[in-house]
Structure 1
Amino acid sequence: MSLYAYLALLPAASVVLCASLGLFTLSRNPRNPANIGLFGGLAALTVVETGAAFMLLHAGDATGLVAGARLAAAGMALLPPLWLVFTLSFARSEPAAVLRRWSPVLAAFTLLSLVFIYIICLHAPSPLRAVQPSLFAPSRHTVTVSTAGRYLAVYVILGLLPSLAHLENTLRSSTGGKRWSVKYIVFGVGAVLVFFVYLASQMMLLGAMELELMATVSAVILISVSLLAVFIIRYRLMDVDIFISRYVVYNSLVLLIVGIYLIAVGLIAHGIKYFDLPFDYFVTTLFVFAALLLLMVLLFNTQLRRRFQLFINRHFYSHKYEFRDKWMETIERLGSCTTVAATADILVEMISETMGTKKVFLWLHEPGMKRYRLIRPPDENSSIGEDHPIVRHLSSRKRPFFLKEAMEREKRDEEAADALERLAEQTGAVLCAPLAAGDELLGFTLQQPDLSGEEYRQDDFDILGAFTAQAAVQIKNAILTDDLMDMKAVEGFHKMSSFIMHDLKNLTNSLSLVSQNARHNMDNPDFQRDAIKTVDGTVRRMKELIGRLSTIRKGLELRREPTDLSAVIEEAVAKTVVPPEKEITLTRELREMGPVMVDPMAMEMVLVNLISNACDAIACRGRVHVSSEASDGFARIEVSDDGEGMSAEFMEHSLFKPFMSTKSGGIGIGLYQCKIIVEAHKGRIEAESEEGRGTTFTIRLPL
């Protein structure tokens, strides 16, 4: 058996690995665009590696070599569109929208790929042909690249550049724990794509390629895809003593270490060539690739970088942080936040980046529900009551503390100690810090240990206290601003209502005028037509205004009683008028929830409003679905449609605000009214929407 036959084992192993990982990924979530894209990219690599195995097994057989070359070329032609699907959808919050925006480019790449497959594989000569001894080493085989093969190489280079750019953007845009989650996949996929750009450049510039390079390709794919497999299967997803900034020290030492590392790699590669080892071209190329890939992994290893920073801090500085710089950064970043959500995101990001923790949990107070809810990472079902022992400790201490200290203090109260221990186990947290504005506890943070394994100390407590104190003030300001805006909006509504009532008076006067003229012109056909038209328009306008205004009161009075919500939903559906010009299917899925203490008329009003809005959101034909169930101590009602949806900007800034509407001619008080009524029942109303895909409103009422 020749040496090339042994080298064929590499692409054979690569075929098995790529196919297995692709099928595994697709089976986990076959509807996720990123999973589909990764499956497609790995399928293309499988085709390339199958062709490489044929080429190596038939190194001395022209027919087998040509067949393998055609198959490998077909796989290379598929790389640009399939990997672009993955890089566009990976780690994106709205992958479908991104893919829609890039659909023309994807279509063009797909068409070009099919054209290349048709030309190269069916009509043109093989992209790799004419096996001949190498000029530099007669014992090796060199294959010549045809003209069609060179055009294919140009296409592969240009086609893979957008995918590499998207991978870079994904890595740059990720921070803290998110970067930890995506970096290994970015490195693995990026390494494969970069190597194929290198391979294509060899084909284009040199017009020839040594056959053993196909084994190098297989080895590169094995290393990179193994990195992907490990990640996917395992994670299923200052006052200073010297006047040199610690950041300058970090960067300088990193550059120095990288330089020494690259020099060592170069010396080893030169040694391999100098001693004329067997397959030195294959070994050298593979070694340099593996060394550079290892360097990237080390440079972006969060834990290693954190250990390196702590080493510098301990040996060059008296404090762990540059407090002045961090304080200025805190004011600058948090000071620009105008919403609670933006403040929460920045706070979690700063704690994660500065203190080197893998995960931070942020809980905020909901006074109406008498609980603290986990908002970062978002989890609607994770909440604790105001009587939880962690809240008692936060209220009394008003500064960061270790959870184990709180558990030590609660040793005598077994129930409280168990509650704290469960919280620590669920989150993996060791450190807790309050978000307090004056005497009001707005929320708190929990964070996991330092990635380096080092225990938190006083410097960590000081910097964390500064972060949370500034964030608490910003959150309180955002809440007060929202309340003030709502008060101003309601005040404006009451002012506006007087003008609307004046409009109603004018409409009434027009009806009165028609009535008076009818006594003298009732037999006139022209008058009859005009009168009917006027009456219809006036009545329609009056119903619209009265229907919207009659239910808005300065003070909402509820008459609660044990109520069957399923019956209320059925009544609301029956009262909903579907426009006759639309084809709308209204479906229901109602489950037993037991009696709920609500005002049945008020809740019916809410549901009629939501169902009517869903019908209005559908242009011509569509579906409105209403469902209900009991879940985690709440009665949960959903009203969903497949209509036009709402923009992210409207959802963030205008949803549930008075006088804000997506409907032309809408007054914009319906959803505001729904929110007021649901919150008066100590409940919550939320919305999920995507433009062009529809909207889902969810109501949660305590059982």
Structure 2
Amino acid sequence: MNLAAPSYLLAALAFLVLVVLALWTWRQRPGSLWVAGAALLSVIWALHMALVAREIGEAPVSGGAFEVLRNAGWFAVLFALLARRGASAARPPAPLRTAMIVTAALMFGLFAALALPLPLTYGAWVGTAMLGMAVLGLVLVEQVFRNTPLQRRWEIKFLSLGLGALFAFDLFLFADLVLFGAINSPVWQARGLVNALVVPLIAISLARRPLQAREAPVVSRHLLFHTAALIGAGLYLFAIGAAGYYLRHVGGDLGAFLQAVFLFGAALLLAVIVASGSLRSRLRVFLAKHFFRYSFDYRQEWLRFTGTLSAEDDEIPFRQRAIQAIGELVDSPGGLLWVRDRNGTYAPEGVLNLGDPSYPPEEPDGALVEFVARTGWVIDLNEYRRDPELYQGLQLPEWLAQNTRLWVVVPLLKGERLQGFVVLAQPRAPRKIDWEERDLLKTAGRQLAVYVALVQTDEALLEARQFEAFHRLAAFLVHDLKNVSAQLSLVCSNAERHLSNPDFVRDALNTVGNARDRLERTLAQLRHAQATPDTPSRIIPLDRLLAEVSEASSHRSPLPRLDLREPAAVIGDQDGLKNVLLNLVRNAQEATPDDGSINLNLYTEGGWAIVQIEDTGSGMEPAFLKNRLFKPFQTTKGNAGMGIGLYEARDRILRMGGRITVDSEAGVGTVFTLKLPLQMAPAMAEPS
């Protein structure tokens, strides 16, 4: 009794059911399309085998080209699974690509060689080819199972078992054919039923795991939006063209006139529709609802959100860009931004496309602030107006509850602290706030809170720097005024005793003139709000400058002695450098007893002019020398000093391109060394 034909018919029916199941679930499991294709090829193969078996009255050995197609379908399923291993890269690994190309070439060659089904008498090469396909199938099944992570093998266990059993049965049949020439036996007749028994295993695996779900095709939202818009515009133009054609042929003498007016009006209406932001928004909402599982392309939305916040746009201030960034997520054209100030109140600091409202600040213990800080909820104002009880009895301010232009309140939470909140205007297209919009707005609000905090920190830092510059200016000016006051006090104290001395009068007038000049410079600094006025640089002969400093310091003891080993000149601010040297000499005189000594030394070394102020005074402790010497408001003079002189001295020397170093020992003395770049002669300055 020949059961080959019924056996293959059962196989065809089983694979047809698998095709239906795979296509039924392709939306949830896009990878099932591979299984559907392989099952469909198996249906064709089984039907062909059944027809051949009925025609020849016994079990056929092979379906010829259909045999190759059936195996190729299942090979494609296995290759698709192999391509997903690891991180599911966009392209399969190079060895796998090579194997796929070689297999495709072999299958194509077999397909060409077996274009027609052969009778019962086969050549050895045919059986060998079928045997090779069975071996290749088993190798692929083994590779899929081996390369699947252990924790995910349960998903493909039944698929591997089913396909492995199918190829193992073929291996047994064709090995028997090649080795012993056995063809007509009950085992060959049972081949169709054996294939049918494999189908439930594949169906179970299909239900467990979405094959190649990661490689599911993704439709771009922008592409779908523009495609829908173009299709709509095309249908509109087609309808308009048909209507114009109808008017032209049924309108009689007025046909051409009516057609021209109608076409112009239709084109104008199309331009209005295309320019309508509300209609574009409605189209996006419609497409998101009916074509996508989620309403947002989160990657695209987050890139746009971050790009808007971080853009350097001088025309749109940051606070307006903050409202724009969070409003674009839900198609809101504008809104208001409330930010926590230093007093703890929440004041409106930004507005976009809502005019110039004058809403009052919100207190930290107010109902709105307390509610959003405690719950972190996004408040849907439309929902609140319909049913306030949904918000735990929240009493919103009247300006917020009664203004129907306002839509949602988004809290800006930085950790557990409420940094502020954004009130968005009604969207261009009506939309309901569901869980997805709420989660997106909450996350964007937290991100925006960090940006707002950073901007506030930058503004506070800028303000602190401005105060720092002002305090530094004031300290320098007070120090200069202190020196001027000391000079004038010295003149006044000696005036009664030396008023009749012409030399004293001359020196007093010079001192007063010098004090006037310094006061003029101080006033200039105040007018320009800078600690050091811009003074033109010029060549300074150091030997002459040191002589002037020595003469100006001769009214106090000990008198400074000059040791000018060789003349030298530098470039810089002469008055500023003179003030530095005067301050250093004055400090040395205050620290040195009358029987001590102070030396002003000048020499050159390499490309540097070296100026040393050496004294035999009290010196400085190592800790003060290391940690406090050049810092402002640090002094060893107690209340008599301000601690600004050395700080200013180092600042001036550094701006002249020089260096200042100190060697000091308590009870021995101090040496200040100034290294300034020498002014080269013109011949040396020219490039060779």
TM-score, normalisation: structure 1: 0.37
Work out which of the two has the higher radius of gyration on C-alpha atoms and give 1 or 2.
2
TM-score, normalisation: structure 2: 0.38
